[in-house]
Amino acid sequence: MTGSFPDARLRRLRQSPAVRNLARETDLLPRQLVQPLFVREGITEPTPIGSMPGVLQHSLDSLRRASVDAAAAGVGGIMLFGVPAVRDPLGSGADDPQGILNLATAAVASEVGTALVVQTDLCLDEFTDHGHCGVLGAPDASGTPTVDNDATLERYVAMALAQAEAGSQLLGLSGMMDGQVAAVRHALDAAGHTQTLLLAYAAKYASAFYGPFREAVDSQLSGDRRTYQLDPANRREGVREALFDEAEGADIVMVKPAMSFLDVLREVRDAVSIPVWAYQVSGEYAMIEAAAANGWIDRRGAVLESLLSIRRAGADAVLTYWATEAAGLLRDR
Ligand code: PBG
């Protein structure tokens, strides 16, 4: 202090919109957003998802329209999830070329595949009758079914080939099986799909914030995913997963959920040299929508601040259920 005046006036950089524009450290752009979309087999009209107001289970037709809207809004990609009419222990619908996800991928890829990156979730949980992300093996000592890692890898390889054949440009490996990136990369390369991108959900935590998603895909799961998804207590283990996935050949790694794992996101960003994405999951969406519906929070402000914060923490791109809408808000601003 000199006399009674501050030596440093940090507010100088905040004095006007023009100065604040020059001083802004982080940007949020439509191309950095990816829109997840659900497509359900056997429906002709889209169906609302109660726990995710504003999000729909699409029919093939409404999915095509939503994909065109996303492309027109300038978002970077769409991530497709399938909701099959019939499920079985092996998740046979996942690698069936006539399965809902593969049919939808083919339809959408021919429509918007040059305007944005068409992406597919590569996991068995939507397709199995037990709801786990893989094939079940022998029960453990307590009688709980376990997921057989290596048998599941064979299913992921079959699924990867079917998705690439259908026209998916980027496969989102979200099952958290060991060795999944290497197994899928080798199989794709051997089949000539050398340009298919792999997004590894490296640090995917066993999170309570996936709750609304389970309704979105009519999940059959009883029990939990704690023998394959990460313990929310573990930061170092998330970084370790990301380093393994990078070494196995992942093109991009993901941290998920986003808002309750921003520390992991920052650390992963610093640890790897490939792009890092984050998934703002269904529970994060539902929380803000519910608070806004009650008039407890400014919806537009909270949506954009949440996305900006995920970018600031280190995400190069963000999967968010608001992608298309947020792209519009960013353009109008
Ligand atoms: C697995 C998958 C899940 C989500 C995305 N991919 C469910 C899970 O692991 O339990 C959750 C996404 C969300 O909550 O928005 N196919």
In a domain, 18, yes or no: no
pLDDT at 271: 98
Q: Structural domain of residue 227, as residue ranges?
A: 27-332
Residue 222 forms beta bridges with which residues? none
Going by alpha carbons, the residue nearest to atom 10 of ligand 1 is 210
What ipTM score was computed for the predicted complex, to two decimals?
A: 0.95
Going by alpha carbons, the residue nearest to atom 5 of ligand 1 is 174
In a domain, 294, yes or no: yes
Report how many domains make up the chain.
1
Cβ 256 vs Cβ 230: under 8 Å = no
pLDDT at 333: 74
Report the distance separating Cα 266 and Cα 42, nearest Å: 42
In a domain, 19, yes or no: no
* 204 classed as catalytic: yes
In a domain, 315, yes or no: yes
pLDDT digits (tens, 9 = 90+) for 58-97: 999 999 999 999 999 999 999 999 999 999 999 999 999 9
Report the distance separating Cα 168 and Cα 119, nearest Å: 5
**Which has the closest alpha carbon to 239: 259, 260, 255?**
255
pLDDT at 143: 87
**Which has the closest alpha carbon to 282: 321, 313, 228, 226?**
321
Tell me, what DSSP letter sits at residue 131?
Answer: -
Whole-angstrom CA distances from 91 to 42, 129, 204, 307 are 17, 7, 21, 34
* Ligand 1: nearest atom to the Cα of 176: 9
**Which residues line the annotated binding site for 5-aminolevulinate?**
214, 225, 282, 321
* 128 classed as catalytic: no
| Two tokens, residue 39 | 């497509």
**Which has the closest alpha carbon to 266: 313, 301, 312?**
313
pLDDT at 332: 82
In a domain, 21, yes or no: no
CA of 213 to the centre of ligand 1 (A): 6
* Ligand 1: nearest atom to the Cα of 81: 16
CATH code, domain carrying 232: 3.20.20.70
pLDDT at 2: 58
Q: What is the dihedral of CA 303, 308, 309, 310, to 10 degrees?
A: 90
pLDDT at 1: 53
pLDDT digits (tens, 9 = 90+) for 261-314: 999 999 999 999 999 999 999 999 999 999 999 999 999 999 999 999 999 999
- Pick from 213, 217, 287 the residue to mutate for probing ligand 1's pocket: most ligand atoms within 8 Å of its CB: 213
Q: Which amino acid is at 60?
A: L
CA of 327 to the centre of ligand 1 (A): 23
pLDDT at 187: 98
In a domain, 249, yes or no: yes
Report the distance separating Cα 258 and Cα 40, nearest Å: 26
Going by alpha carbons, the residue nearest to atom 2 of ligand 1 is 174
- Which residues are near ligand 1 (CB < 6 Å)? 121, 123, 125, 174, 210, 213, 225, 281-282
Going by alpha carbons, the residue nearest to atom 12 of ligand 1 is 281
Tell me, what DSSP letter sits at residue 177?
Answer: -
Which helix or strand (DSSP H or E) is residue 78 part of? strand 77-83
What is this structure's pTM?
0.96
In a domain, 84, yes or no: yes
* Ligand 1: nearest atom to the Cα of 172: 6
Low-confidence ranges of the chain (pLDDT < 70): 1-2
Whether the upstream peptide bond of residue 257 has omega within 30° of 0, thus cis, is yes
In a domain, 8, yes or no: no
